Amino acid sequence: MRWVGALLVVVLLAGCAGGAPAAGDFRPVVGGELTVATATVPLPGFWEEPGGFEYGLARALADRFHLRLRVVRVPFERIVSGDLGGADLALSQVTATADRERVLDFSQPYLAAAPAGLARAAIPDLAAARDTRWAVKRGTTLAAVLAGFVRPSTPPALTVDEPAALTLLDAGSVDAVLLDLPVALVVADRSGGSLRVAVQVDSDDSLAVALPNGSANREAVDSAVRALTDDGTIDRLTKRWLGAGARDVPVIGRDR
C-alpha cells in the first residue's frame, strides 16, 4: 500500500478537467477539492496503482464538478455507520440497504455487484456452498449473505478487508472468499488459472455513491452518476478495469 501517499499527491496536484456541469450545486467540504473516502487501497480492479474503476469514477466526478480530487482512507465499518471521516462522499463498494439508508444518503447505482465465491474448486450448488470454508470482509452485505442465506457448516473467517480474506485463501486456510462479483472476476482473471469464480448468488445488489445523511450534494452527485452512465464513461471504466462479465458461473437463488 506504499503507493497510497503518492496517489494523494497526484490527485491533489492534478488540474481540473472541463466538462458540462452536473445538475445541482456541489458544495465541497474543502474549497476546490472533492474529498472521496474509500476503505481498501489497493483493491484489484477498483483502486490500482494508481487507477481502477472507482478511482476513475472519483476522477470523473471531480472533473465534472471542476474540483481537484483528494482520496482519504476510512475503515469500511465507519463508512457504513455514517462516518465518512469528513469526506464529501464515499466510493468503497457500498451497497445501499435499508439500515444504511438510515445513516447515509445514496446516489443511483453505478455498478451491479452480485455476491460471488472465488475458489480453486467448483461450488456447483447451495449444498456445496454450505460445506465450504469461507472468508468474507466483516460488516458487509456479503457477510450477511453468508450468515443468512448460505449458512455454512463452518463459521466463516471474518476479515478486516478483501486482501486479508484473499491471503487466507492463498494459504489454504479457507476454501473460498465471498466478494462482489466484479472484484472476484478481476482476481480470477489475474490468477493465471489457479482461481475461478465458482458460484454467484442471484441478486440485484448494486454499488452506489454514499454521502453523509442529509447531504445537500445528493442531487448533484445523483445527476453526475446519471450523466456518466449516459455518456458511456462508466461503461468505459468497466471495460478498462473490470473486463468481461461472468460466463458459465453457477447461480444459486435466494428469497428476496
Domain membership of residue 195 as a residue range: 115-204
User: Are residues 119 and 107 part of one domain?
Assistant: no
**Contact assessment for residue 150 and residue 129, using Cβ atoms and an 8 Å cutoff:** yes
255 within a domain of the structure (yes/no): no
251 within a domain of the structure (yes/no): no
**Contact assessment for residue 113 and residue 205, using Cβ atoms and an 8 Å cutoff:** yes
The DSSP symbol for 19 reads -
Q: What is the chain's mean pLDDT, rounded?
A: 90
pLDDT tens for each residue of 155-191: 999 999 999 999 999 999 999 999 999 999 999 999 9
User: Are residues 218 and 100 part of one domain?
Assistant: yes
**Contact assessment for residue 30 and residue 70, using Cβ atoms and an 8 Å cutoff:** yes
9 within a domain of the structure (yes/no): yes
User: Are residues 216 and 185 part of one domain?
Assistant: no
The tally of domains found in the chain comes to 2
User: Are residues 180 and 230 part of one domain?
Assistant: no
Instruction: Please give the single-letter amino acid code of residue 68.
Output: R
**Contact assessment for residue 221 and residue 61, using Cβ atoms and an 8 Å cutoff:** yes
**Contact assessment for residue 154 and residue 176, using Cβ atoms and an 8 Å cutoff:** no
Model pLDDT, residue 17: 38
User: Are residues 30 and 12 part of one domain?
Assistant: yes
Q: 92: domain CATH number?
A: 3.40.190.10
Q: Is the model's pLDDT at 8 over the cut of 50? A: no
246 within a domain of the structure (yes/no): no
Q: Where are the alpha helices (DSSP H) in 131-177?
A: 141-145, 162-171
User: Are residues 163 and 126 part of one domain?
Assistant: yes
pLDDT tens for each residue of 191-205: 999 999 999 999 999
- Cβ atoms within 10 A of the Cβ of 116, count? 27
User: Are residues 147 and 53 part of one domain?
Assistant: no
User: Are residues 64 and 14 part of one domain?
Assistant: yes
User: Are residues 21 and 94 part of one domain?
Assistant: yes
Q: Is the model's pLDDT at 15 over the cut of 90? A: no
pLDDT tens for each residue of 93-146: 999 999 999 999 999 999 999 999 999 999 999 999 999 999 999 999 999 999
User: Are residues 212 and 95 part of one domain?
Assistant: yes
User: Are residues 211 and 178 part of one domain?
Assistant: no
Three-state secondary structure of 97-141: CCCHHHCEEEEEEEEECCEEEEECCCCCCHHHHHCCCEEEECCCH
253 within a domain of the structure (yes/no): no
Final residue belonging to a domain, choices 204, 223, 250: 204
254 within a domain of the structure (yes/no): no
User: Are residues 237 and 184 part of one domain?
Assistant: no
**Contact assessment for residue 12 and residue 69, using Cβ atoms and an 8 Å cutoff:** yes
